Amino acid sequence: MSPSAGAAPIPAFQDFLEANRTPVYRFLVAAVGPSDADDCFQETFVSALKAYPRVTEAEHLDRWVLKIASRKALDHHRARNRRPIPTRDALELADSPVRRPTDGDPLLWAAVASLPPRQRLAVVHRHAFDRSYAEIADLMGCTEQTARANVSLGVRALREMIA
């Protein structure tokens, strides 16, 4: 697993983690909410650690780990939809405000939190992190056209909710 001639060397995993922890955590807070971001963050870097020995290029490690984080966020939303909600918790959930990042408009973050998972991730990648549609497609494992559609549908839904 030696880098090709002229390529940047693969950093130690600890250095990689330190360099990428903040952007990954910020993305996960926006994608799954502050209460679940820690678990997704941990799952992201455990998966990255397992795959790290097979890494051959250091150039796009930041995108690679965000791709893992995107998939963990989707897995989180899928699993959450399958979990039963105990009756008492369901009543409390109905009366409580949606958990959201602390900065920005609370109504907007509540609306973002209510989007379907793929739309939420696409909107967060595009508008919170200013990623191109090509980057979004790569991070979400879909086509650029699908990434555009998810962003468009998500933004349209947000406009309807907030208007």
Condensed to tens digits (0 to 9), the pLDDT of residues 63-103 reads 999 999 999 999 998 887 666 555 555 445 444 444 445 45
**Residue 98's pLDDT is what?**
42
pLDDT at 70: 93
Contact 104, 127 (CB under 8 A): no
Q: Per-domain residue ranges for the chain?
A: 13-162
Query: Residue 85: CB partners within 8 Å, gap ≥ 6?
Result: 93
- State residue 45 phi and psi, 5-degree precision: -80, -25
State how far the Cα of 137 lies from the Cα of 133, in Å rounded to an integer.
6
- Report pTM: 0.64
Q: At CB < 8 A and 24+ separation, what contacts does 50-56 make?
A: 52/13, 52/16, 53/1, 54/1, 55/1, 55/10, 56/1, 56/3, 56/10
pLDDT at residue number 46: 96
Question: Quick one: fold of 13-162?
Answer: Butyryl-CoA Dehydrogenase, subunit A; domain 3 (1.20.140)
Q: How far apart are the first and last CA of the chain?
A: 54
- Residue 8 banded pLDDT, cuts 50, 70, 90: confident
Mean pLDDT of the chain: 83
pLDDT score of 93: 46
Q: What's the pLDDT score for residue 54?
A: 93
- In angstroms, the CA 32 to CA 38 distance is 10
pLDDT digits (tens, 9 = 90+) for 31-62: 998 889 999 999 999 999 999 999 988 888 99
Query: From CA 15, how far away is CA 105, in angstroms rounded?
Result: 34
C-alpha separations of 32 from 29, 40, 102, 150 in Å: 6, 8, 13, 17
